[in-house]
Amino acid sequence: MQVDKVTLLDLSIFHSEENQSVFHHINLTLTNDGREYLRYLLSNPLDSVKAIEQTQHTIQALEKMIDQYPASPSNGTVLVMEKFYESQINSYPSDTGVVSSLLYKLFNNADFSLSKFTVEHAIDFVKGMQQIVDLIGSNSPSNWLQQSAERIQQLLNRDTIQEMIQANKQKLSIGKIIQYAHFLRLRYRLAVDELIEIHGKLDAYLSLAKAGRKFQFTYPEVVESSEPCIEAEGLYHFLLDVPVSYQLGLNQQENFIFLTGANMAGKSTFIRAVGLAAYMAHIGMGVPAAKMRLSRLDGILSNIQVSDNILKGESFFFNEVQRIKKTIERISDGNKWLILIDELFKGTNQEDAVKCSTVVIEGLRKLPNALFVLSTHLYEIGHSLKHHPNIQFRYFETAVNNDQLVFSYQLKEGISNDRLGYLILKREGVVTMLENL
């Protein structure tokens, strides 16, 4: 699925402020390799229903294993082994008898200490990997998990490694430590690299499973269809402390949501919730919704946080126009797209904005291959669009009680004409401050 950096930023998949980042909240990995592979997974949404379903099976299978999943290999163990291969160590003796082993330890004390420390961690490492294989078993519903377990077992099926799995690391002789270190360094390095890689991937998928349990995600049904659609019940934005749920239905016959409402009423949150759930579904993970069904999409594009560019001399409005232009160019390819636009044409005067917005909406709504969620503060545009059967009109209601705003955050059918900017200015004390200047 196609997605660009702007959309990743708009949906807060990654964010410089950790608390606003989806990655930060679902990163429950225990290793550096797991964290980096999780970052890779979140950066690369999947392109087929089969791949999505296989990933769902992997995460769901791991979710059942969370409580039994071994804590080893730990991140510290992995780092020790990686450092071992990066370090310069004097050659081990080919004879690991008592005398030669003692002499090696005597004349290479620092190297022996590192070797002993590494061997002890290596024993923890291979034992932990064996426990993972045993936990996954031979009847996993996930092909990837099954193949990973089989590969791990192949790499562990070396006589020395099996001996290490059975060994008591507290009772190793000097000769055994040197023997194991020699084997690890000269004959098992590529296997260790591969085992660490597999373990990191398992850690990343396990993190998605932990996040699914923590946030009570459900697994969506993703279907292959020539017509785009998204249906959701109980959809919410899981980064909010107290989220409000929504019901959503977009299809080729009703592919456009025209969204209005006052500032702070919930428009931006709703748009992000829709985009984020669709994106997460294409990662293969669970989504923040009670129930969700959607067609596999070819791409998601957003126009939410447009800014000006002082260095290039580009205005806010110019960048809005360029973003819309690029969006039109990309979604004219006949593929299935989800397009998210928040407050169209904020960077120009109202008369201009009305005209520009009307032209854009009239054009975009004619693309049956795309689904649109568009918010605007220009509610008057909506009345000229009501004759189009494919446009759904939704709004967030705001009430005023004793000069106080009351937001229900409930999505309703219709068009809002709330104009509450001055009330907000007054409520925040700005009007009084200005009067007292």
Neighbour tally for 15: CB within 10 Å: 15
Shared-domain flag, residues 207 and 304: no
Give me the number of domains the chain comprises: 2
Are residue 267 and residue 416 in the same domain, yes or no? yes
Residues 63 and 104 in one domain: yes
pLDDT in tens, 252-302: 999 999 999 877 778 999 999 999 999 999 999 999 999 999 999 999 999
Sequence-ordered list of residues with C-beta below 8 angstroms from that of 55, at least 6 positions apart, any chain? 46, 144, 205, 283, 284, 285
Q: Does 248 lie in the same domain as 208?
A: no
Upper half-sphere CA count for residue 134 (Cβ side, 13 Å): 10
CA angle at residue 13 from 323 to 299, to 5 degrees?
Answer: 50
The reply to whether 297 and 176 lie within a common domain is no
Distances in whole angstroms, Cα of residue 6 to Cα of each of 24, 36, 252, 326, 345: 18, 21, 26, 12, 17
pLDDT for position 59: 97
Q: What is the pTM of this model?
A: 0.91
The amino acid occupying position 319 is N
Domain boundary (215, 239, 260) is at 215
Asked whether residue 118 is assigned to any structural domain, the reply reads yes
Looking at residue 429, its pLDDT comes to 76
Q: What is the pLDDT of residue 166?
A: 96
Q: Are 178 and 96 in contact (CB under 8 A)?
A: yes
**pLDDT > 90? residue 168:** yes
Same domain? 211 vs 225: no
Does one domain contain both 39 and 154? yes
Q: How far apart are CA 259 and CA 267, in angstroms?
A: 7
Out of 192-201, 241-250, 338-347, give the one with best mean pLDDT: 192-201
For residues 205-233, give the mean pLDDT. Answer: 97
Q: Among residues 215, 246, 272, which one ends one of the domains?
A: 215
Mean pLDDT of 101-123: 95
Kindly compute the dihedral angle of the four CA atoms of residues 415, 247, 294, 142, in this order, to the nearest 10 degrees: 150
Which pLDDT band, with edges at 50, 70 and 90, does 345 fall under? confident
User: Among the three residues 181, 197, 215, which one is the final residue of a domain in this structure?
Assistant: 215
In the chain, the amino acid numbered 187 is R
pLDDT at 308: 45
pLDDT of 86 above 50:
yes
**Same domain? 39 vs 131:** yes
In a domain, 10, yes or no: no
| 238 and 200 fall within a common domain | no
Same domain, 68 and 134: yes
Per-residue burial over 138-171, b = 16 or more CB atoms within 10 Å of its CB, e = otherwise:
eebebebbbebbeebbebbeeeebeebeebebee
Full domain range(s) for residue 80: 31-215
Q: What would the pLDDT profile of 31-58 be if each residue is shown by its tens digit?
A: 999 999 999 999 999 999 999 999 999 9
CATH number assigned to the domain comprising residue 201: 1.10.1420
Q: What is the pLDDT of residue 349?
A: 80
User: Would you say residue 229 lies in a domain?
Assistant: yes
Same domain (yes/no): 249, 233: yes
